[in-house]
Amino acid sequence: MKFYEQTNMDKFLISFYFFCLLLLLLFPSSSSFPLCTDLRAPTSWKGGSLAAFCPYSGQTCCNSSEDLLLQNRFLAMNISHSPCASAVKSILCSTCDPFSAKLFAAESELRTVPFLCNSTAATSLSSLSTNTNNGFCSTVWESCKDTSISNSPFAPSLQTKAAIPRNATSSKLTDLWQSESDFCAAFGGAAAADQNTLCFNGEPTSLNKTDTLSPPKGICLEKIGNGSYINMVAHPDGSNRAFFSNLAGKIWLADIPDQDSGKALGIDESSPFVDLTDQVYLDTSFGMMGMAFHPDFASNGRFFASFNCDKEKSPGCGGRCACNLDAGCDPSELGSFGGEVCKYHTVIAEYTANGTASTPSMAKRAKPQEVRRIFTLGLPFTANHGGQILFGPADGYMYIMLGDGGSKGDPFNFAQNKKSLLGKIIRVNIDNIPSDDEIVKQGLWGNYSIPRDNPYSDDKEMEPEIWAYGLRNPWRCSFDSERPSYFLCADVGQDQYEEVDIISKGGNYGWRVYEGPLVFQPQKTPGGNTSAASIDPIFPVLSYSHANFNKLGSAAISGGYFYRAQTDPCTYGSYLYGDLYASHIWAASENPRNSGNFTTSDVPFSCAPDSPIKCDSVPNSNLPALEYIFSFGEDNRKDVYILTQSGVYRVVRPGRCSYACSKEVVTSTNSPPSAPSSGYLARPYSALILLVSVALVLLELYL
């Protein structure tokens, strides 16, 4: 009886193992665009690669000094066996790979050796990588198992049970590891699959160019609201509710109707969640630009508003001017460019919903009294404020988008000025509030602290708040809900180009040296010039020329979202964005996936005939009259919304507008929409449910 039970348990475990292995291959990749182990974007090595130790050319994560350090480290290993030396050299040089962040799992716990491709278990991203040597881990073992390596990088990790002490200065793999399977279990194989990352096969990473995404045939919209809103934020409690705000400073809490329900947005304009209009200065270029709710809002009730104020009308508006001697800016010069000495300010203030309901999640009202001032910045001009605020989904820090301050051509060069916060994305910790003395001592602009891993936290030449710089007027940024390292921002151009950038740690996005891909020539430069040769800019992944909008006379991009809803499977994975004036919607595809290379399509769109609110049409056209596209939004189901002058629109099933989509599966009314039929399970919890269900069936069969 005991033997019978053990045999069937073995059968169960074997079946369960192979099912888990299959499931790992079904998950969509979370691997990101090219990114280095310090989470910065790779750069071009201006010194060339002819004399380089590591064979990376073009975009790389190593400069000449780092390349020399790797060479010296390799020589100090004193490896006598040529095949082993070749394998170890390639592993050392993999830190220079443009995808090294994923090879070394830098977004979780940085490894000393990249994940090595291993044929004995599933290797992640097999559909994305053209690497064919999936047994590289075995190659390393066979090449180096009997070769002494000084200060070996293959010393066992603290999590393994190694019989040999780790302090040996020169060792063979057989001294450090009991077997090849133990070695590859630590440096590749299942570990790589569990981390859902790239694996290294001894060659520079190359993605599968056939793994592409086709643009949708069209975007079907329904109109669910008549209000003109500028921001939308999903309720942090995960419910089917969202907050909407307008430029004047009112925030409403709305119920989101189910897809195919035929219902409109559940919002009472006469009863706002909070009214901040008496604190907000409203004018053509001023107002409440952003709002954000703390990730733990459901329990702590904290939320934040980003708005403009006029110090002549609001006594509490005053703050430090962005044009100051530290930034090399003389406030007396502002007048000649149409500016004022920081009459207007950008403010980020904290508010609370505590005490208005039994729990903040149940609150339908909030207190309009400011809890604390998080940030105040005096503005030199009357445009290009940015003002959006977001919480990073992976780190919980607040990201603040700030424009260059205005005036044509950024005359004071604020965007490239390392001591100015204008033209920057800054990143702050609003959960660790320093004392007043510390705020003054550190020269902070409000009640926040600096995250220790900010790229310039220890750089005396840069303001420590800065996360990225070289932006003109970032207007609507978003994190991809499936790949948080994809942080996309639309940046409004001057005269020639609109652009979308992938924002990375410490990145310089070129303005005002460049506008989009073009060199920019400023008319006046009292703030000095920055030469193109002195920077290594990150160019936009998407851009369009104003020449395309000559009939309109102007253009201003509005950033959107990666579409991750189950509603329209043919749009799934596309990045949707638009233009304020043009009423155009674009769907950008990353081809190959995870490469950071995008192509875009100007997709047709129309309004569903059964839209809950009838869509007005553009004269002499079947197009819905969106008018100005202010912003985009995303709810907790990942459905995407377009906030326009004429109302709120939601992306719905393509079939409702007769757009062809072979992946669409029409379900009965009010039933959950089908997952994208792209060969992947659309949600991790769906896969988990399936996994548990199959496990129970197998257990029932074998026990």
Q: What's the confidence (pLDDT) of residue 195?
A: 43
pLDDT of the residue at 462: 96
**What is the rounded CA–CA span in Å between residue 18 and residue 40?**
37
Task: Provide the pairing of β-strand 219-225 with 605-607.
Answer: parallel
Phi/psi of residue 84, nearest 5 degrees: -65, -45
Kindly state the tokens that stand for 585.
């919607």
pLDDT tens-digit series, residues 462-492 = 999 999 999 999 999 999 999 999 999 999 9
Strand 598-602 versus strand 585-590 pairing type = antiparallel
Cα dihedral across residues 61, 65, 66, 71: positive or negative:
positive
Q: Which carries the bigger pLDDT value, residue 189 or residue 493?
A: 493
Residue 18 pLDDT > 70, yes or no? no
Residue 127: its pLDDT value, please?
36
For the chain, give the percent of residues with pLDDT over 90: 69
Looking at 47-56, 149-158, 217-226, which range is the least confident one?
47-56
What is the C-alpha to C-alpha distance for residues 312 and 318, in angstroms, rounded to an integer?
9
More confident position, 92 or 32: 92
- CATH no. for 219-657: 2.120.10.30
* pLDDT, the chain, mean: 85
pLDDT tens-digit profile of 298-315?
999 999 999 999 999 998
pLDDT of residue 110: 85
Lowest mean pLDDT segment, chosen from 63-77, 247-261, 417-431: 63-77
Q: Which of 159-168, 540-549, 660-669 has the lowest mean pLDDT?
A: 159-168
For residues 190-197, give the mean pLDDT: 47
User: Which pLDDT score, from 0 to 100, does residue 123 have?
Assistant: 35
Q: Is 476 left (phi over 0), alpha (psi -120 to 50) or beta?
A: left
Residue 206's pLDDT is: 82
Q: In what order do the strands lie in the sheet with 605-607?
A: 605-607, 219-225, 647-652, 640-644, 629-634
**Between 109 and 454, where is the model more confident?**
454
Q: What is the per-residue pLDDT for 157?
A: 60
Backbone angles phi, psi at 151, to 5 degrees: 50, 55
Q: Which residues contact 460 (CB under 8 A, 6 or more apart)?
A: none
> What distances in angstroms separate CA 560 from CA 5, 84, 520, 540, one per listed residue?
56, 49, 26, 15
The average pLDDT across 124-153 equals 75
* Spatial distance between the Cα atoms of 447 and 456, rounded to a whole number of angstroms: 19
pLDDT of residue 290: 98
Q: Which residues pair with 557 in a beta bridge?
A: 579
pLDDT at 583: 81
Please list the residues that pair with 110 across neighbouring strands.
none
Instruction: Note the pTM of the prediction, 2 decimals.
Output: 0.86
- Please state the domain extents for the chain: 1-27+681-703, 31-195, 219-657
Query: Which uninterrupted H or E stretch holds 176?
Result: helix 173-176
Q: Is the confidence at residue 565, as pLDDT, over 80?
A: yes
Neighbours of 579 (CB within 10 A): 23
Angle 589-496-285 from CA coordinates, rounded to 5° = 95
Q: Following CA atoms 576, 579, 582, 585 in sequence, which dihedral angle do they give, to the nearest 10 degrees?
A: 0
Q: Exposed, middle or buried, 635 (CB in 10 Å: 0-12/13-18/19+)?
A: buried
**CA distance from start to end of the chain:** 12
Cα separation, 388 vs 289, whole angstroms: 6
Residue 146 has pLDDT above 90, yes or no: yes
Lowest-confidence pick of 380-394, 501-515, 557-571, 591-605: 591-605
Average pLDDT of span 281-307: 97
189 Cβ contact partners less than 8 Å away, ≥ 6 residues apart: 118, 120, 121, 122, 123, 137
Query: 507 with 41: CB under 8 angstroms?
Result: yes
CB 305 within 8 A of CB 327: no
Please give the single-letter amino acid code of residue 623. L
Q: How many residues does the chain have?
A: 703
What is the rounded CA–CA span in Å between residue 12 and residue 6? 10
Of the candidates 506, 398, 403, which has an alpha carbon nearest to the alpha carbon of residue 448? 398
